[in-house]
Structure 1
Amino acid sequence: MYLDIGNALASVATPGVSRASLDRLDDRVARAHERIVDGIDDREFGYASLALPERTDAAHVEETVAPLADSEAVLTVGIGGSALGAATVSAALGRGAADAHVLDNVDPQGASEVLDALPLEETAVHVVSRSGTTAETLANFLVVREAMTEAGVDWTERTVVTTGEDGPLRALAEEHDLPAFDVPEGVPGRFSVLSSVGLVPAAIQGHDVAGLLAGGRAGREALAPSLYDCPAYGYGAVCYALENRGATTNVLMPYAERLEYFAEWFAQLWAESLGKDGLGQTPVRALGATDQHSQLQLYRAGRHDKVVTLVRPRDRPGRAIPGTDIEGLSYLGGSDLGTLLDAEFEATEASLAAADLPNVRLELDALDAEGVGRLLYDMEVACILAGELMDVSTFTQPAVEWGKRAARGLLGGGDFAEAEAVAGKERLEIE
């Protein structure tokens, strides 16, 4: 991965980071690097995520899902980290041998539309829940199972499970002899993309799972005790420094439609990991060049409380733009859509710098398996490094658990004090 933080320097942007500040911060990065490497080696909770590229067995994943390799579609049933990683990988690598779909919400209309559009007799289903009790995931799976049964499809022949050692989902897998993967030990869901959690759909689609893991291993090998020698650390460090200087929003703006889901994945990773103790940048998702026409006005002329992260592959397929005699458009003829998109990228980068707004450039070699694996791994590293510098509990999510308990109590799934807060809501109704 390639990182350019020049437009985040204080000589260019407000807020910005001086080179002297980065030099001082680099001592802390070196100490954080030692903590991270020790955590990886000892397989500590959370840090174990960065060992996944070497722990995950690509051949085992591919062999287990081989009976479903002729599927026309693959449906991931999960929520949060149990779905976003798989969706990101599938979207980044393209259709492959099967279309990828996700059920990660319990909107009845959305669920019905997804199921109505699927060829259920040719659809592989991957159900993911660490606990096996996640209400949204289990509810959706029950709906999917019923739809398959009503369509005359044996759901047990089309379903793969990833879950913990015990729980209702594990018991179901054992009862029906379903192929089942273990969620990786010591790995929070949002950091689990380079495991069966994120790779099963890609394997069913025929994508290069080994290549994804090789990209992750390249990220591991690139770890070095300086932000100047490690792009992942450089990104995490500059985001930390900019937040301290007022850039409390991080806009992730990929210039490749296949990376649009990556922005969704990044938003969870950054928000759930770093939003602690009154700290944490708010991640915002954008898409270049589309959102140059919808959001860029705010970024250039609004509050200077943002850093914009621009992401693109260096190598992309071309699509020629036909010539035309239309006045004012002839300059486009003979060019290429990729050339135009790159020009849009560089123009946006320059326009942000001209407006003194900090921005960072991230580039991967190509949207292939190794490039995607490296990008995902490096963003996990950047997030963990930022958490170390912020001194927050990167791998927990207590605020999320509060909401889960409240919802479960409302549904009759137990006696939870959090559910009482719903009844006590302050109201000021206007009709």
Structure 2
Amino acid sequence: MLSIDFSHIFDVGSHGMTKKQFAAYKKQLKPALKSFELRAQGFHTIVDDMATARELMQYAKEVEGQFDDVVVLGIGGSSLGTLCLRDALTHLYGKKDKKQPRLHVVDNIDPIMIQELGDVIALKKTLCIVISKSGTTPETMSQYFYYRQQFEKEKLDIKKHIVFITDAERGVLREVAWEEGIRAFHIPHNVGGRFSVLTPVGLLPAALIGIDIVALLSGAKEMRDTFLSPVFTKNLPFQLAVTQHYLDTKRGKVIHVMMPYAQKLYRFADWYRQLLAESIGKKKNRKGKTVYTGITPVNALGVTDQHSQSQLYNEGPNDKLIMFIAVSQLAKQIRIPHLHPKKEAVAYMKGTSFNELIDIERLATAMAFTKNKRPNLTITIPKIDEEYVGQLFMLFESATAFLGELYGIDAFNQPGVELSKKITKEMLAKK
């Protein structure tokens, strides 16, 4: 199980919180769990759906070896989790594998992006996964129209080259699936896009590129069981939410920086940015009162951003919580050669490894922040694999859900996003 070190929340004086203030939240845990039960949100129950996992693995087996490239058409919650899974759990530089296809995620409508993807894929060896719960998302549907036309121009079988992930009962994609016999997997009705990485949205692309989705769900399930614990000291997602809520509302830490010390987890910070921003940034609470809640999420990468952002975090406005993600075992030990032994300026690296260096730099950065009264915490996973990535997904989904309860807002809707979608459609209709 992953762990969370809160000690540098308690060690920064008036910019953090005391253990007594931390523990005072425990009376809010059981009411929050009851609220989830009543509202029947599905993000934490989907990890039990092994029937869908088996269906996805069976499909992946059926098409194994048929495609060189898999192209995911989706945006936001339909793409960010998939990008995270690919980068975290496959070769960082896309090492060629005769059995596994390359995975491309088209999460923008930039025409250059669309054009240049066409330069590197062969349509006859490409599978397109179209992801839209509503079937009306303008970005995704425009991409679908384009790529479908390209397949048709090549006289390729649409039912072989396109698969949908959409609502089980309604929407344009579901209708087309029924009418034309296109394979379609469904997104549970009670799971929103940014909480959907552990549904077919993330699991199908993952299965197609050889990721063990059973292990992914198993890790998530372990954290889900922690999330459902009514015992404050055991409920890590609630403890994380408590820290974020208190530091925002009582200490003015309105910016929360996620800083993984692992290149493979940088996309995880991308995924979390949407989760936190859309879930907690709300104008009204559940009673209809105007409250303007919100925490601004920021991405950083250790060690890279020690040399671009940490100056601000150490000496700029003290309005941030830094959340490090550490990995106990990044890879096999890679020793740093001891060259130029007569140069004293670089002698400090003698006898060390890249593994030790990255960890020491993380510890030093955390210590510097603490010395400067900048609250920070560290989430540690033993290694980067399906089980622990699954735990990370469920930790932050659960913590975000708890944050919604602590703020008294609906963490599962996005009225601000819906308004811009409505205006976009109206403007296009008038064109």
Query: What residue number does 2:346 align with?
Result: 329
- Quote how far apart the aligned CAs of 1:197 are: 1.0
* AA partner of residue 375 (structure 2): P
Distance (Å, rounded) in 1 between the aligned partners of 2:13 and 2:282: 27
Q: Deviations over 1:24-50 (max 9, x none)?
A: 1121123323333x24xxxx45x2111
Query: What residue number does 2:187 align with?
Result: 183
* AA partner of residue 33 (structure 1): L
Q: 2:206 aligns with which of 191, 202, 207?
A: 202
- Quote how far apart the aligned CAs of 1:333 are: 5.0
Distance (Å, rounded) in 1 between the aligned partners of 2:143 and 2:311: 39
Q: Deviations over 1:67-112 (max 9, x none)?
A: 3322332211111111112222222111472322111111111222
Q: Deviations over 1:263-299 (max 9, x none)?
A: 1110111010001131121000111111111111111
- Quote how far apart the aligned CAs of 1:147 are: 3.4
Query: What residue number does 2:42 align with?
Result: 48
**Structure 1's 320 and 68: CA in aligned 2 closer, same or farther, altered over 3 A?**
farther
SS at match of 1:127: strand
SS at match of 2:71: strand
Confirm whether residue 384 of structure 1 aligns to residue 401 of structure 2. Answer: yes
Distance (Å, rounded) in 2 between the aligned partners of 1:21 and 1:413: 55
- Quote how far apart the aligned CAs of 1:228 are: 2.5
Q: Indicate conservation of the 8 Å contact 1:300/1:351, yes or no.
A: yes
Query: What residue number does 2:286 align with?
Result: none
Q: Deviations over 1:296-333 (max 9, x none)?
A: 11111110110011012222213332331262334435
Matches within 5 A, 1:104-123: 104-123=107-126
Distance (Å, rounded) in 2 between the aligned partners of 1:242 and 1:104: 33
Distance (Å, rounded) in 2 between the aligned partners of 1:142 and 1:380: 32
SS at match of 2:301: coil
Confirm whether residue 345 of structure 1 aligns to residue 355 of structure 2. Answer: no
Distance (Å, rounded) in 2 between the aligned partners of 1:211 and 1:32: 28
Confirm whether residue 254 of structure 1 aligns to residue 268 of structure 2. Answer: no
* AA partner of residue 34 (structure 1): K
**Structure 1's 151 and 241: CA in aligned 2 closer, same or farther, altered over 3 A?**
same
Q: 2:281 aligns with which of 264, 275, 279?
A: 275
Distance (Å, rounded) in 2 between the aligned partners of 1:201 and 1:381: 23
Query: What residue number does 1:424 align with?
Result: none
* AA partner of residue 79 (structure 2): A
Query: What residue number does 2:18 align with?
Result: 18
SS at match of 1:304: coil
Query: What residue number does 1:289 align with?
Result: 303
What's the TM-score once normalised by structure 2's chain length? 0.90
Q: Indicate conservation of the 8 Å contact 2:81/2:202, yes or no.
A: yes
Q: Indicate conservation of the 8 Å contact 1:29/1:389, yes or no.
A: no
Query: What residue number does 1:144 align with?
Result: 147
Distance (Å, rounded) in 2 between the aligned partners of 1:376 and 1:149: 38
Confirm whether residue 355 of structure 1 aligns to residue 367 of structure 2. Answer: no
SS at match of 1:29: helix
**Structure 1's 228 and 115: CA in aligned 2 closer, same or farther, altered over 3 A?**
farther
* AA partner of residue 242 (structure 1): L
Distance (Å, rounded) in 2 between the aligned partners of 1:303 and 1:346: 22
* AA partner of residue 243 (structure 1): D
Distance (Å, rounded) in 1 between the aligned partners of 2:356 and 2:184: 45
Distance (Å, rounded) in 2 between the aligned partners of 1:12 and 1:347: 16
Distance (Å, rounded) in 1 between the aligned partners of 2:15 and 2:74: 39
Distance (Å, rounded) in 2 between the aligned partners of 1:242 and 1:274: 14
Confirm whether residue 126 of structure 1 aligns to residue 136 of structure 2. Answer: no
SS at match of 1:69: coil
SS at match of 1:48: coil
* AA partner of residue 305 (structure 1): D
What's the TM-score once normalised by structure 1's chain length? 0.90
Comparing 245-254 and 154-163, the one that deviates more: 154-163
* AA partner of residue 12 (structure 1): V
* AA partner of residue 124 (structure 1): L
Q: Indicate conservation of the 8 Å contact 1:68/1:158, yes or no.
A: no
Q: Indicate conservation of the 8 Å contact 2:73/2:143, yes or no.
A: yes
Comparing 25-34 and 80-89, the one that deviates more: 25-34
Distance (Å, rounded) in 2 between the aligned partners of 1:187 and 1:27: 27
Q: Indicate conservation of the 8 Å contact 1:13/1:357, yes or no.
A: no
Q: Indicate conservation of the 8 Å contact 2:159/2:183, yes or no.
A: no
- Quote how far apart the aligned CAs of 1:136 are: 0.4
Comparing 53-62 and 285-294, the one that deviates more: 53-62
Query: What residue number does 1:220 align with?
Result: 224
Report the RMSD for the aligned CA atoms in angstroms: 1.9
Query: What residue number does 2:33 align with?
Result: 33
* AA partner of residue 46 (structure 2): L
- Quote how far apart the aligned CAs of 1:231 are: 1.6
SS at match of 2:259: strand
Q: Indicate conservation of the 8 Å contact 2:314/2:372, yes or no.
A: yes
Q: Indicate conservation of the 8 Å contact 1:68/1:124, yes or no.
A: no
- Quote how far apart the aligned CAs of 1:166 are: 2.3
Structure 2: stretches of 5+ with no match in the other structure = 92-96, 284-291
Q: Indicate conservation of the 8 Å contact 1:29/1:237, yes or no.
A: no
